[in-house]
Amino acid sequence: MAKKTVRDIDVRGKRVLVRVDFNVPIKDGAITDDRRIREALPTIEYLLGEGARVILVSHLGRPKAPFAPEFSLAPVRARLEELLGRPVKLAPDVVGPEVERMAEELRPGEVLLLENVRYYPEETKNDPDFAARLARLADVYVNDAFGTAHRAHASTEGVARLLPSVSGFLLAREVEVLRHVLEQPEHPFVAILGGAKIADKIGVIENLLKRVDALLVGGGIANTFLVARGYEVGQSLYEPEGVEVARRLLHEAEARGVDLLLPVDAVVATEISETAETQVVPVDAVPADGRIGDIGPRTRELYRERLQGARTIVWNGPMGVFELPPFAEGTIAVARAVAESGAYSVVGGGDSLAAVKLAGVEDKVSHLSTGGGATLEFLEGKELPGIAVLPDA
């Protein structure tokens, strides 16, 4: 079930290369949200406490040119130093003789941050020579960057083949929770799927249909399901090429005895905007010029009731265009219902996490999965290369 972690390996006096996700938002040279740096602290502090010599490697954005200064990890170094309360050195490069020397000279309890690993195109190509140059810096490799674990890059996959490797606490926790809900969920298990495009979610829906007792559908993807059921959705966002898929998923749900719930009413407007004049209509009466922006109040209540009886909940994708107040209520209601259900709840996806925050129920969700694309691929049942390469406990 679980992954080997830093606790399962001797790191004292060793040079430990830790892949972290320091891909933080930076504006005019200042970090606007340091959450990702703070989340990496438990693993880093544990290693320092054990007398390891810590070498950190991360990407930041997508630099087009080598060593483009706006992609330097210099601002991250400064913030990390504040958070750790001890000096952090920034290497002038990612690999090479000078960085090797700096890594060699590092003493137990000291921290060296490498420059942006994506300064090298070899990183995303998972170039074996580049992975070997990274491996030369350390004795042990730790991956704590769950958000990039779905990519087979040199710093997430290649290097793990070359050094004794384990998971950091963040990554291990994500794997444990996501494996748990997929493999041994307590029933009733209810999934909530929303968001803009069905194309992004087919794999997740297919995999969850094999495991859940009910699937509640909202957001733009519900429109495509409604069309598949024969409803007219006016000017709403839907994917004509997704209708066939939706039809197949509806059949699959029926064959498996899964309750697949679609909205019974919707909040519609002629324009999806901040100042839209909305009305609530049953789904069989969407006006020809109407656009569905949210699930309606009867659907909110229906979904809330289903969530109340659940023991396990997985949620990805907002129920409506929650960024705009006229269409936010459905998503907020579902977030509250998840929080109040008492079920073991896991929420994943960038926008879904933002919705949980908007509803103010962050503390009541059992696990907020921060992986974005990695979380979705995990929920699809895919093997993530950065995780597959790390040993199970």
Binding site for ATP, residues?
201, 323, 349-352
Q: What are the b/e assignments for 121-130, b being 16+ CB within 10 Å?
A: ebbbebbeeb
Where would I find the H helices in the chain? 35-49, 74-84, 97-105, 121-124, 128-135, 169-183, 202-209, 219-228, 243-256, 297-308, 329-340, 350-359, 373-379, 385-388
Neighbouring residues of 125: CB distance < 8 A, sequence distance ≥ 6: 154
Helix (H, G, I), strand (E, B) or coil at 165: strand
Is 242 an active-site residue?
Answer: no
Single residue of 115, 122, 329, 351 touching Mg ion by CB under 5 A: 351
Is 296 an active-site residue?
Answer: no
Catalytic hit among 3, 19, 36, 211? 36
Whose Cβ is closer to Mg ion: residue 49's or residue 350's?
350
Query: Any contact of residue 352 with ligand ADP (CB under 6 A)?
Result: yes
Q: Mask: binding to ligand ADP, 306-345, rule CB under 6 A, as x and -?
A: ----------xxx-xx-x----------------------
What Rg, from alpha-carbon coordinates, does the chain have? Answer: 23
Count of alpha carbons within 13 angstroms of residue 31, beta-carbon side:
20
Query: Any contact of residue 219 with ligand ADP (CB under 6 A)?
Result: yes
* Contacts of ligand ADP in 277-306 (CB under 6 A): 292-293
From 20-28, 69-77, 247-255, 344-352, span contacting Mg ion (CB under 5 A): 344-352
> What tokens does 10 get?
């001797």
How far from 70 is each of 60, 62, 77, 197, CA to CA, in Å? 10, 10, 14, 33
Q: Say if residues 74 and 34 touch (Cβ distance below 8 Å).
A: no
Q: How far is the CB of 149 from ligand ADP (least distance, A)?
A: 17
Query: Any contact of residue 199 with Mg ion (CB under 5 A)?
Result: no
Residues of the binding site for substrate? 21-23, 36, 59-62, 118, 151
Binding site for Mg ion (CB under 5 A): 350-351
Catalytic residue IDs: 36, 197, 350, 373
Binding site for ligand ADP (CB under 6 A): 194-196, 200, 219-220, 237, 292-293, 316-318, 320-321, 323, 349-352
